[in-house]
Amino acid sequence: MKKIIFAGVTVLLALFLVTCDDWLNLPVKEDVEEIEYMDWQYEGLPDGRGLLTLTLDGSKPFAHVKQNQRALSLDLAKMSHDYFEAVFVSPPGSGTGATITISRAAWEIGMSAGISGVKRDVNYSGLTVGAATGTNGSAIIFVGKKAGKTLLGVGHIVRADSDWDTAVVTSSTKSVTFGVYPLTTFVGVGFPADYPDEGDLADDDAIRPTFYTAPGGTTPDATTTKVENVPLQKDVEYPQFELPEVDVEAFSSANPPKTDAIYTIGGLGAGDTSSGIPPGVTLAKPDYHPALILADKLEIIKRTPLFLYKGQTYEAITDVLDTYTKVDATNNQTFGSATPETFQNPISMTFTQSIQSAGIFAITFQVPVYAITRAPLLAGEPDNSDNGGPPATKWYIRPGYNQYQFLLDDGIAAGGAVLLGTGTGGVDWLEIFTVGIGFSN
């Protein structure tokens, strides 16, 4: 089974089989609901996907409870996503100087989408600017968090009006429906609590971890990864990925020991059974989603390991921290070149150890991306939106959102940080009350 990348995506795209009282044991105020009508509607599906319908003619047929309503609503409570961006790329047409047309809309929960200027008689089944030729165009929707712009899901058109499995927008089309697919991390960066302590992944073909390591320049896979569930304070366990112990006598500063690693995001490649790739679209690079354009470099940072236990955060004491091992991203580094660079999945990195490397640390990351086009756009492309819409939104692919990104991931809960260690035994933990951040922005 795939583990949704973090709890927010589960909330976003899963159909809950619980009551409001099961979800939140809080009194529900029996106010009369105040209804407003919007030009979009979201529907969660039992298989983890979702459907988002967007009207193209300016009509507002979908009833929504007003955002300022104080009464608790199960629909509002279970929707962790709150921000959307839809992009339509129309073909250039004919004539001298004809150019493609970009129609873009961005909106949040409680607002209308207000999409306009979408060219008609176009098949929007493509996912790139380059696919906009003849009568073919491209369209994509991004779904995520307004605060921090964490990307939770991507989608393509699956219905025009009531016609399924078509992305053709005709002169009479009133609405289109996007199938929204969550970003996932398979079984999580970690493993189930009852996974063998020896961490031999090669014995179980059904296990496809998110994170692999490989020392000495070999290819990271199940046979090269060393991981063990280690007990932390309060009788909780988290997976710790082992880096080789440094041979002090053989150490060379000119050629220090290195360990390569990869982190895979699910839901973005043609090989996934539920992904944001439309049927029939052939990818030049199977693990790259062509609509995710790099906006900046992949950034990986080291963090002090943190975990959450019964609502309280615990931090590793400084005496056991490895402050000497360095981590460097080794892909997703090129952007702004003549050809738009697509997000590369899995992301890759290298750990470089020093003669003093010992102890534990955690890592987390973010990858900034744009939907189909990036801003500022390339020469020869239209400047942002041609329909009076907003500039392109810079989204972030992360292993978690908000404070969860910095908590350790056990493969089950909402954490997004990977725990690594070299030659460590027992670890003492301090109770803390705040969680900081460390990215450049």
DSSP state of 318: G
For 35, 112, 121, 135, 299, the CA distances from 55, given in Å and listed in that order, are: 18, 10, 16, 21, 37
pLDDT tens-digit profile, the chain (441 residues): 344 333 333 222 222 222 222 222 333 344 445 677 778 777 766 556 678 788 887 787 676 755 433 222 223 223 456 889 999 999 887 656 677 888 889 998 878 888 888 999 999 999 888 888 889 999 999 988 888 898 888 889 999 999 998 999 999 999 999 988 888 754 344 444 444 444 455 555 445 568 889 988 789 988 888 888 777 766 677 888 889 999 999 999 999 999 999 998 877 765 555 566 776 677 766 667 889 998 889 999 999 988 887 777 788 877 788 999 999 999 999 876 656 688 988 899 999 999 999 889 999 999 999 998 864 444 444 455 676 778 889 999 988 877 778 888 876 666 788 999 887 655 555 554 444 555 665
pTM for this entry: 0.79
| Residue 349, both tokens | 């990195």
Question: 123 in helix, strand or coil?
Answer: strand
Ordered alpha helix ranges (H), 7-105: 7-13, 20-23, 74-77
Question: 177 in helix, strand or coil?
Answer: strand
Q: Is the separation of the CB atoms in 303 and 438 below 8 Å?
A: yes
| Residue 411, both tokens | 């493969």
